[in-house]
Amino acid sequence: MHATLPLLAATDFPPIRRRLLDTLQVNLGYKCNQSCLHCHVAASPQRTEMMDAGHAGLVLEILRARGISTLDLTGGAPELSPHFRELVCGARALGVRVIDRCNLTILSEPGQDDLAAFLAAQGVEVTASLPCYSPARVDRQRGDGVFDRSIAGLRQLNALGYGQDGSSLVLNLVYNPQGASLPPPQGELHADYKRELLQHFSIRFNHLFALTYMPVQRFGSTLVSKGTFASYMQLLRGAYEAENLDTVMCRSMVSVDWQGDLYDCDFNQMLGLHARLGDIEHPHLRDLLTHDPDDEDIRIADHCYGCTAGQGSSCSGALEPSEPQESVLKFAPTRIR
């Protein structure tokens, strides 16, 4: 795989700082039951990096100590972590909002038969990837049979109340473009998804987030192999909208990897760009017990143009300039699947 950090490090992206930390995004490990072409984590069934019990316990300690309001669980497939359920229950007992970035096919994996019911019982928000409502396109991007299994997963969630009118169980979907292009306007896509999924599959959901691909890991490497890395960066830079700077997810979030190391977002985690925390060079989760992450400089590089292109993305879908982070993160979480 081609490393893309050397191509991204020199940047003229404007400097930004964190505001108040309200979300802890925890990557529980890179193991996944899928190995999608575009995956910016390069997750797969063969990956072995997974968070241990000590670090999972520390996550709960930090949530309590810092009064963090949202725990955003991601991976790989976060549900494959042996500590997923204890983290969910522990966070919910603290009154913390929990988001599960779910790939939908995990709901039909062996041993996960009760996963959907568990998520519903705990009131976990589900943000699920469905890159298109066309079966052929989804299968091409994510693997044979993934579309049908995704629809089966959505039906399970709908049957439990997710995405239904009057229900508090939130089900969000994530759209990705099919290649090196910007997503179309989120509002139009949302209407299309609503219509198509209801008409053909009787599926309901709450919100749709249209995300821009980041030129890192598998997707970035593919761009390099095809000789289109520079033109994709040009596309992102050309679509820069300054007002999106206000609402990128790193302004209110810290990302944690499976070993407890801290980053400003999941993309920086994949690039190995550690967060800044006082004078600590490679800060760790435990450092949040003694150091305040608010007002720290964010580690930027050229990939940050992916968060400010067009309607904005930052793994939370289109950004809402007048109501920073809170309005975006109320419904959306922070990472593409």
Q: Which is nearer to ligand SF4, 186 or 325 (CB)?
A: 325
Residue in 8, 43, 68, 154 binding ligand SF4, rule: CB under 6 A: 43
Q: Which is nearer to ligand SF4, 202 or 234 (CB)?
A: 234
215 binds ligand SF4 (CB under 6 A): no
Q: How far is the CB of 212 from ligand SF4 (least distance, A)?
A: 10
Residue in 21, 26, 28, 41 binding ligand SF4, rule: CB under 6 A: 41
Structure tokens at 165: 């009118």
Residue in 125, 303, 317, 329 binding ligand SF4, rule: CB under 6 A: 303
Q: DSSP assignment, residue 229?
A: H
Residues 6+ apart with CB under 8 A from 25: 72, 74, 253, 254, 255, 256, 265, 266, 333, 334, 335
Residue in 35, 108, 167, 178 binding ligand SF4, rule: CB under 6 A: 35
CA 27 → CA 22, 30, 216, 264, distances in Å? 16, 8, 16, 13
C-alpha closest to that of 285 among 48, 31, 3, 65? 65
Identity of the amino acid at 127: T
115 binds ligand SF4 (CB under 6 A): no
Q: Which is nearer to ligand SF4, 25 or 69 (CB)?
A: 25
78 binds ligand SF4 (CB under 6 A): no
Residues counted in the chain: 337
User: How far is it, in rounded angstroms, from Cα 93 to Cα 131?
Assistant: 33
Footprint (CB under 6 A) of ligand SF4, residues 271-300: 298, 300
Question: Using alpha carbons only, how large is the chain's radius of gyration in Å?
Answer: 18
Largest CA distance in the chain: 56
Q: Residues in the site for ligand SF4, rule: CB under 6 A?
A: 32, 34-36, 39, 41, 43, 75-77, 103, 248-250, 264-265, 267-268, 298, 300, 303-304, 307, 314, 337
